[in-house]
Structure 1
Amino acid sequence: MIQTEIGPMDGNTWEGLCQIVYKKRYSTYQEMVPSPGDWGIEGFMLGHGIAIQCYCPKQEYDTSTLHTKQVGKITKDLNKLKEYQNEIASRIGDEKIKQWIFITPRIAKNHIYSHVRTKETEVRGWNLDILDDDFQILIHDIGHYLSEFRVIQTLRGELLIFSESQKDSLEKTENSTEYEENINRKNKIRSIRGGNYNLNTHKRLNKITTDKFLLGDELIRKIEKQSPSLYKSLNRVINQYENEIEEVSLTWEGTASSLLEKVSTQLKERLEKDDNIGGVIVDSDLNQIVDHIISKWIALCPLEIDQ
């Protein structure tokens, strides 16, 4: 089992998702079940000359090991095309395989492309009746199918996970000076307790707010790319509430901490109550989205904090 952008995967779950995608994409797709044997293809598209083969590693490997296993898998399965050419021919008829697509969650090294270019030349030299003269090998990773995988997960009622593979380093967003000044100004007010200002608290709040802003921004971009319908729903609910925030903050008579607590609680409640959001995305990601939006409103307004 490995961790991917769409959650934990093993060979069966990975192939299962790929099979669904191709069955939806092509009405002529034929799944090649491994009975009576595994012949180097998981399925083929009649009329298109496309065959696919899926591979998901059994466990997390370092880059070099994963690359070695991917190269070995490609070599082994391509050899099966020659070994079982008669069996394959009887299944695909007069079809010629023009493209053989190797589908794996992530590519370990770009050296894999050098390997498949070499293998293309070698395989063409076999002059197999089942292969086109311009036979081509393609490598697809999870990015080729993200939005389709997300649709499948949603239809299955699975909770969507977006934050499993966050980057270790965070990119700075544009106009950082403006949001840093707003964060610093508003957090200075939050750092006053009992009339006393605490510099260490102020510095720590600035870091926490900035981290939540940047980390959440990365998560939001993932959702927009992988699940546009969920992103649209989030955007709608958040924008509706954002229209009310300025008035709420300008007329607030309590403390800054109680204001932020109220806004955070109300935003999450609205997201959870929406039929297209609640029960669709895991709670940890939902909390991260709320933290991001609150930090964003602190950084870029409209959430104002006064003494």
Structure 2
Amino acid sequence: MLNDPKNDPKSWEAYFKDILRRFYGPSNMKDIPDSYGGDFGIECYSFSGHVFQCYLPEQISDKEKLTKLQKDKIRKDIQKFTVKNVKKFAQLFEGMQISRWILATPEYYDSDMAMYCSEKSGKVRKLGLSYVSPDFQILLQTESDYRTEVRALQRDSYQLLLNFSHVEEDMAADWISQNLSFLKKIDLKLPKIVDPDKIDQMKSFLVQKYLGYQNLLDHLRVEWPDIHVTINALINNRRSYLEARFLTDCSKQPGAVIQAEIQQLKDDISSEIPTLKKTDLELIKYGVIADWLIRCPLDF
């Protein structure tokens, strides 16, 4: 399993090619390995006439620098596509016409690139190359153009990147002050599992994780409903075991019981959803602990 596909150019290329294989189908895609004539200017193409060049800029935070880098990349690779490698492309695309040349990149600013791509596309069409379609266009695409394929890949093969609001310590403190009655159960339980001098610190920590955990669940409910259902089922199953152990097994300390059940929950989730980030899994772990301490009516 790969981690963040935006870590390096080769990871980005492999990731986007996986997206395209899902979109077009493996039998409708042709890879162009680096060994094919050296720097060929494209990395793959579809038999429907779309060629792709994958590009991961060194930085994407500065709008002007990003746009300049992308324009330079398009200029250089279109030069290869229309001048430097004409004979090779004429042979490679014999009987085909390419209607789209696509730069696959993580992010771009459409308003700055649209005119540039349109102008470049017109110049390419005027060259009258045998493998260029009369409706040829240069485009930029990101993973957001293939949402279905990306969701499937993240679910099955790549690290699941969840975009939800995290909770800072001061936000947790404000929430505690506004929800004192809601936190009565945790106030009763914490002294039995935490040293007295650490109760306030642990309470703040758990509430912070609890709120972040709720945000994560809300995000999953909307964007990844199948994963939300799976995680909820695993949590509810483990919570029932936890409550049953406190009713039937008095031989172990509460902290040890909670730790054992939460470790089992982590193992269960990792087995069912191996692409979940470790940080998100840790948030779920502490969120479940906090949720149980806050809501469960059982005392120990």
The structure 2 residue matched to 1:286, chosen from 275, 281, 286, is 281
Matched residue count: 282
Tell whether 2:124 aligns with 1:123: yes
1:111 and 1:5 mapped to 2: Cα distance?
Answer: 31
8 A contact 1:52–1:103 mirrored in 2: yes
Identity %: 19
Which amino acid in 2 is paired with 1:19? Answer: K
Give the TM-score normalised by the residue count of structure 2. Answer: 0.70
Give 1:236's aligned residue. Answer: 233
Which amino acid in 2 is paired with 1:239? Answer: N
1:108-147 matched pairs, under 5 angstroms: 108-114=108-114, 115-143=116-144, 144=146, 145-147=149-151
Shift of 1:225: 8.8
Q: Deviations over 1:117-162 (max 9, x none)?
A: 44334433444332222223332324435335436636xxxxx464
The structure 1 residue matched to 2:8, chosen from 4, 7, 10, is 10
Which amino acid in 2 is paired with 1:304? Answer: P
Structure 1: runs of 5 or more not aligned: 155-159
Give 1:51's aligned residue. Answer: 51
Give 1:272's aligned residue. Answer: 267
What is the aligned-residue RMSD (CA, Å)? Answer: 4.4
1:11 and 1:261 mapped to 2: Cα distance?
Answer: 45
Structure 2: runs of 5 or more not aligned: none
SS of the residue corresponding to residue 39 of structure 1 reads: coil
1:70-109 matched pairs, under 5 angstroms: 70-83=70-83, 84-104=85-105, 106-109=106-109
Q: Deviations over 1:69-97 (max 9, x none)?
A: 22221222122221123321211112111
1:209-248 matched pairs, under 5 angstroms: 209-217=206-214, 219=216, 233-244=230-241
8 A contact 1:271–1:277 mirrored in 2: no
Which of the pair is proportionally richer in helix?
Answer: 2
8 A contact 2:49–2:100 mirrored in 1: yes
Shift of 1:54: 0.5
Give 1:157's aligned residue. Answer: none
1:129-208 matched pairs, under 5 angstroms: 129-143=130-144, 144=146, 145-150=149-154, 153=157, 160=159, 162=161, 180=179, 183-190=182-189, 202=200, 204=201, 207-208=204-205
SS of the residue corresponding to residue 137 of structure 1 reads: strand
Give the TM-score normalised by the residue count of structure 1. Answer: 0.68
SS of the residue corresponding to residue 41 of structure 1 reads: coil
Give 2:290's aligned residue. Answer: 295
Q: Deviations over 1:242-264 (max 9, x none)?
A: 3455666788989xxx6466335
8 A contact 1:162–1:219 mirrored in 2: no
Shift of 1:98: 1.8
> Structure 1 pair 271/192, CA: closer, same or farther in 2 (3 Å)?
closer
The structure 1 residue matched to 2:297, chosen from 291, 297, 304, is 304
